[in-house]
């Protein structure tokens, strides 16, 4: 049976990433027939009552987990964060307007560049680029111009391995956040944000669905801008909101998995429990760095370390290469750093069990003793 | 076990629609671990060797099935046909240019309207709207202006239930086809088309992935137009082609299912075998109409009947309502006509077995005897 193949395999992939085994088991069991109806979710009409229920489960699950207030809508779109990089400015920056972007890594740069690529004015609200993105700025460093349509941040930076740990900003303009790689990893005050978006494939589901949480009273404005700009229908948030994410056929099976993952996360105790677990996992890995006497060199400053993606280098490139090879041979998968930066990256999203991090910690300590 | 729930259930949904049971069984079996690797396809990196293999299987499967020549690329995108409605004109109609649209039903109208919505000039190349879309035009009726960037057709019209049965046109301009609802249902000469697109959720997979087959030598031009027009990166075909559909994270699991469905279709004997099977199924249902002495009234003219979606009315609305109720109670699911037109629609895509149509035929004959 294929479940046995999973023994001794630890999925540290940066995304698409590990899903909870309980969710995979449920998906497997229900694959032939959802709720006794005789149809697989894979072949189910998006206009059926069964899908109405699935989508409501996914929405309500996220609402309960994140404490999403009634002021905000929950949408399921396609195209990933990459399409959001264009949709956010195209829908919310009015003609002649601008928006501010906080640059903390590659993905926030891409968001910023995409706003410019589609012909809109993006300004740098803050940047730690000169510091090699090794730290997250303080809110006091973030510029905030009254004529900006919004300020955009990336709450977790998967490539460099940094994360905002001091949210709750007080800005004079709307705040937009790309939470693709840390949504649902800890409690968050959704009411602080006008719009949150996240590709599902790290913490809340498989690749193929993008969650958008948006303040409803911001959508009227977006509708006007989108119309004047002659945006494609599929790029208009207001259209998706009006049609409850079913203007066209949604990615039914991916939304179903979001429902299962959200329900699993609630069963684990919700986001406070997730935060405690994620902190425990991060402590295991960063502990290996801090106790290695410089053998494992963390990439980012301690106060900006990501609980989702821990990044480090080993000074000798040959030893670093051997680390990755040995780790792979021992079943620790997905540890190579992003191709743009190299090194080692330990991605430990919600579904990565504490045990996997404990095993990796053992390996790291052992490897260091053998190679220092 | 959930497989038993499927006994006596006949999935005639218009899309998302039935998948082959052999494919569902394979997907279930492999769900915990793909190819012995210990990871589910649902949690697999799109940069992994395993996914390289999956995407190649999907591409090669479609290439073999459709006989796609080397001149054409096969892309896997998101956003469904609805996003293609915008991408096609935005990438291929140059500034000041136009394109021709053949109107044969709701979806072709939507494609036409979307070109205008995004500010481009769309002309009607032919239309059977005045005939209530009850027939497909002949190619001799299709206008073809030399300065049009392309002519766009919808090969199968899911809502009204009509289909082009005389393809192989000779036009002076590129031909673009929305084949969402009949791709792979019969052999087609891909070399006749500059671009073919199809949401996967009828004949080739689940909802959440869109197949685009495009002539490579048409992409350079698209790249120039997209750049000048400042299109979002995700709306540029040239970007997706250069990145082999991995500019951003693709819908990994949906592409995997396209691979399985393509391989299943090849095992059935390919598209000639599919055509024979689809003709047999269509003959069963249309036979019920033609032998009903007017009890079942076909919506479209016989020569334009779709082999994918057979539509008909029953003169007495109460009897029609009872037909749908009784059918549903007997396990025939998804037969209600589209909410915009009403009536009955029998969607019988590739994965619907002949047996399902034979059972429905029995029911139709029996119902008619009881209610005429």
* CATH label, B269-371, candidates 3.40.190.10, 3.90.1150.10, 3.60.60.10, 3.10.50.40: 3.90.1150.10
Instruction: Convert the pLDDT of each residue in A218-246 to its tens digit.
Output: 999 999 999 999 999 999 999 999 999 99
Residues 6+ apart with CB under 8 A from B92: B99, B149, B150, B174, B176, B195, B218, B221, B222, B225
Of the listed B148, B182, B202, B281, which one is catalytic?
A: B202
Picking from B42, B111, B112 by the largest number of A CB atoms within 10 A of its own CB, the best residue to mutate is B42
Pair B110, B340: CB distance under 8 Å: no
Residue whose pair of structure tokens reads 């037969």 in the numeric block: B335
Mean pLDDT score, A212-216: 98
Among B124-128, B164-168, B225-229, the least confident range: B164-168
Distances (CA, A) of B176 to B108, B127, B214, B327: 12, 16, 9, 38
The ipTM is 0.98
Mean pLDDT of B128-155: 96
CB contact under 8 A, A249 and B207: yes
Catalytic residue among B148, B164, B178, B182: B178
Q: How confident is the model at residue A320 (pLDDT cuts 50, 70, 90)?
A: very high
Does A233 contact chain B (CB < 8 Å)?
yes
- Closest-approach residue (CA) in chain B for A119: B230
Q: How many CB pairs under 8 A join A and B?
A: 246
Q: How far is B169 from chain A (nearest CA, A)?
A: 30
Interface test with B, best of A6, A42, A247, A264 (most B CBs within 10 A): A42
Q: Give CA–CA dist B161/B150, Å, rounded.
A: 25
List the one residue out of B165, B154, B184 whose CA is nearest residue B88.
B154
In tens, the pLDDT along B166-199 reads: 987 889 999 999 999 999 999 999 999 999 999 9
Q: Which of the four pLDDT bands, split at 50, 70 and 90, describes residue A355?
A: very high
Picking from B38, B106, B178 by the largest number of A CB atoms within 10 A of its own CB, the best residue to mutate is B38
Rounded Cα–Cα distance for residues B15 and A130 (Å): 51
The minimum CA-CA distance between B334 and chain A, rounded to whole Å, is 8
Average pLDDT over chain B reads 97
**Segments making up each domain of chain A, as ranges:** 25-267, 269-371
Chain CA centroid to CA B86, Å: 17
pLDDT at B161: 98
Chain A hits for B197, CB-CB cut-off 8 Å, are none
When CB atoms are compared, the residue of A15, A81, A249 closest to B199 is A249
Question: Mean pLDDT over residues A346-362, rounded?
Answer: 98
Judged by CB atoms closer than 8 Å, whether chains meet at A2 and B37 is answered as: no
CB contact under 8 A, B2 and A119: no
d(CA A182, CA A308) in angstroms, rounded, equals 7
Which residues neighbour B67 within 8 Å (Cβ) at sequence distance 6 or greater? B187, B189, B190
B131–chain A Cβ distance below 8 A for any pair: no
Query: How confident is the model at residue A168, as a pLDDT?
Result: 78
Q: Compute the average pLDDT of residues A312-325.
A: 97
pLDDT > 90? residue A372: no
- Percentage of residues of chain A with pLDDT beyond 70: 100
B123 beta partners = B100
B1 pLDDT above the threshold of 70: no
* Beta-sheet strand order (sheet of B296-298): B296-298, B309-314, B344-347
Question: Which one of B32, B44, B254 has the shortest CB-CB distance to A24?
Answer: B32
CATH topology of domain A25-267: 3.40.640
CB distance B9–A37 less than 8 Å? yes
- Chain B residues with CB-CB distance to A25 below 8 A: 32
B95 part of contact set with chain A, CB < 8 Å? no
Using the Cβ of A100 and the Cβ atoms of chain B, whether some distance falls under 8 Å is answered with: no
Strand B332-333 to strand B10-11: parallel, antiparallel, or no bridges (unpaired)? parallel
> Of all helices (H) and strands (E), which one includes residue A152?
strand A148-154
**pTM score of the predicted model:** 0.98
Q: Over the range B245-259, which residues count as b (16 or more CB within 10 Å of their CB) and which as e?
A: bebbbbbbbbbbbbb
In sequence order, the 6+-apart residues with CB closer than 8 A to the CB of B62 are: B68, B74, B184, B204, B211, B213, B258, B262
Instruction: Give the distance from residue A184's alpha carbon to the nearest chain B alpha carbon, in angstroms.
Output: 17
Q: Which of residues 331-370 of A touch B (CB under 8 A)?
A: 331, 333-334, 339, 351
For residues A324-344, average pLDDT:
95
Note if B202 is an active site residue.
yes
Q: B119 CB near a chain A CB, below 8 Å?
A: yes
Task: Tell me: pLDDT of B75 over 90.
Answer: yes
Out of A79, A207, A254, closest to residue B46 by CB: A207
Q: What is the pLDDT of residue A321?
A: 97
User: Chain A interface, mutation test: which of B33, B83, B116, B232, most A Cβ atoms within 10 Å?
Assistant: B232
Q: Average pLDDT for residues B41-57, to the nearest whole number?
A: 97
| Residue B275, token pair as written in the block | 């055509």
For residue A72, give the 3-state DSSP assignment: strand
pLDDT at B147 over 90: yes
Task: Decide if B233 contacts A86 (C-beta within 8 A).
Answer: yes
**Residue A170 clears pLDDT 90, i.e. is over it:** no
Does any CB of chain A come closer than 8 Å to the CB of residue B249? yes
| pLDDT average, residue stretch B52-69 | 98
With a cut of 70, say whether residue A1 has pLDDT above it.
no
Quick: pLDDT tens for A76-135. Answer: 999 999 999 999 999 999 999 999 999 999 999 999 999 999 999 999 999 999 999 999
Closest residue in A to B199 (Cα) is: A249
Could you count the other beta carbons within 10 Å of the beta carbon of residue B159? 20
**Sequence-ordered strand ranges (E) for chain B:** 10-11, 72-77, 98-103, 121-127, 148-154, 156-157, 162-163, 175-178, 195-199, 210-215, 296-298, 309-314, 332-333, 344-347
């Amino acid at each position: 049976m294929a479940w046995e193949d999973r023994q001794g395999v630890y999925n540290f992939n940066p995304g698409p990433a590990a899903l909870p085994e309980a969710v995979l088991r449920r998906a497997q069991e229900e694959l032939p027939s959802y709720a006794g109806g005789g149809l697989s979710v894979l072949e189910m009409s998006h206009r059926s009552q069964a899908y109405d229920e699935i989508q409501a489960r996914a929405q309500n699950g996220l609402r309960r987990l994140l404490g999403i207030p009634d002021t905000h809508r929950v949408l399921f779109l396609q195209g990933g964060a990459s399409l959001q990089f264009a949709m956010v400015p195209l829908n919310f920056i009015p003609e002649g307007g601008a928006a501010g972007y906080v640059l903390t890594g590659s993905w926030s740069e891409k968001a910023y560049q995409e706003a410019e690529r589609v012909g809109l004015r993006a300004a740098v609200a803050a940047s730690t680029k000169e510091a090699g993105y090794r730290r997250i700025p303080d809110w006091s460093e973030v510029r905030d111009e009254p004529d900006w349509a919004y300020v955009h941040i990336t709450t977790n930076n998967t490539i460099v391995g940094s994360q905002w740990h001091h949210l709750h900003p007080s800005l004079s303009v709307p705040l937009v956040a790309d939470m693709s790689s840390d949504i649902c990893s800890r409690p968050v005050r959704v009411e602080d944000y006008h719009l949150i978006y996240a590709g599902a494939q790290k913490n809340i589901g498989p690749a193929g669905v993008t969650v958008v949480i948006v303040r409803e009273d911001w959508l009227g404005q977006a509708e006007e801008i989108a119309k004047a700009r002659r945006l494609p229908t599929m790029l208009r948030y207001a259209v998706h909101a009006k049609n409850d994410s079913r203007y066209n056929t949604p990615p039914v099976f991916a939304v179903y998995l979001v429902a299962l993952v959200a329900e699993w996360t609630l069963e684990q105790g919700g986001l406070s429990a997730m935060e405690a677990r994620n902190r425990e996992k991060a402590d295991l890995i960063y502990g290996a760095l801090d106790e290695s006497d410089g053998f494992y060199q963390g990439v980012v400053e301690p106060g900006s370390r990501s609980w989702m993606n821990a990044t480090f280098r080993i000074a000798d490139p040959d030893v670093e290469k051997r680390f990755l090879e040995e780790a792979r041979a021992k079943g620790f998968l997905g540890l190579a750093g992003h191709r743009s930066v190299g090194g080692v990256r330990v991605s430990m999203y919600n579904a990565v069990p504490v045990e996997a991090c404990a095993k990796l910690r053992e390996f790291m300590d052992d490897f260091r003793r053998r190679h220092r």
